[in-house]
Amino acid sequence: MLTLAEEIVLLTLDDEGGKFLYVPEHSMRYALSGAVLMELAFRGKIDADPDSLFILDTTSTNDGMLDSILKQIAKEEERHDCSYWIQYFGREAYRIQQVALQRLCDAGILRAEDKSFLWVFKSRRYPIRNDLAEKEVKQRIMALLFSDDIPDPRDIAIIGLAESCRLFERMFSRSEYERVRGRIEEIGRLELIGQTISKVVREIEFQLGQATAIGPM
């Protein structure tokens, strides 16, 4: 089974060329940070309520990335809320993304491909080698969004992450998106860590909007 970070990375790749879709940098950062926190929560290592995020179990997850995040939370003496930790681990988003990409390559789902542009600039793409995992994630999401079924926790998480990255606006036509928007919001709210990611992203966007409105001094 893929981790949430691997699933969201997979969803942010263009199906054909393997280029990253445009996702605002802050959205991707906090989605990746939130993905590892939710993964730890699903594995029974941490728990949260509206006031704080706290440790339940510090034993190894047998996953180096998750263990390093868990260790950092465990060593903090003061308790903080979900928002604090989502922003704190936002600084590790690049590492989380690179680990996820490497694992997807190792699993034969992606392949890394270096391309040169104008013989000078190099860019790395990740074309999909095996699209079963990506199709499976998308099918799960679609089935839930167009039904009244009660979602399961992992699906709630991935829907919240995808919405934070504004991926549904790309997956659906404008009218389809308007039709499922309410359902996306309902599902996203069900997970406390997930809904905090959306709040953090919205706050950043609000601040960016304010800064743009004020303009340079």
Partner 1 sequence: MELRVSKHNAVTIAEVDGRIDGMTAKEFEEKMAEAIPEGGGPMVCDLSHVSYVSSAGLRAILVIAKRFSKDGNFFSVCGHSGPVAEVLRISGFEKIIPMHESRADAVEKAEG
205 near partner 1 (CB under 8 A) = no
Which of 2, 31, 36, 46 touches partner 1 by CB under 8 A?
Answer: 46
Q: Is 11 in the site for partner 1 (CB under 8 A)?
A: no
Supply the minimum distance, in Å, between the C-beta of residue 136 and partner 1: 19
Q: Give the Cα separation of 54 and 65 in Å (integer).
A: 18
Q: Which two tokens stand for residue 211?
A: 């800064």
Q: Which amino acid is at 185?
A: E
**Contact call for residue 90 and partner 1 (CB under 8 A):** no
Task: Please report whether residue 34 would count as binding partner 1 according to CB under 8 A.
Answer: no
Token couple for 130: 């095996």
107 binds partner 1, rule: CB under 8 A: no
Query: SS in 3 state form for 47-114?
Result: EECCCCEEECCCCCCCCHHHHHHHHHHHHCCCCECHHHHHHHHHCCHHHHHHHHHHHHHHCCCECCEE
Site for partner 1 in 122-151 (CB under 8 A): 149-151
| CB of 169 closer than 8 Å to CB of 177 | yes
Q: Which stretch binds partner 1 (CB under 8 A): 49-57, 67-75, 93-101, 161-169?
A: 49-57
Part of the chain binding partner 1 (CB under 8 A), chosen from 15-23, 40-48, 72-80, 107-115: 40-48
| Residues of the shown chain interacting with partner 1 in the complex, contacts defined by CB under 8 A | 41-42, 44, 46-50, 56, 149-153, 156, 186-187, 189-193, 195
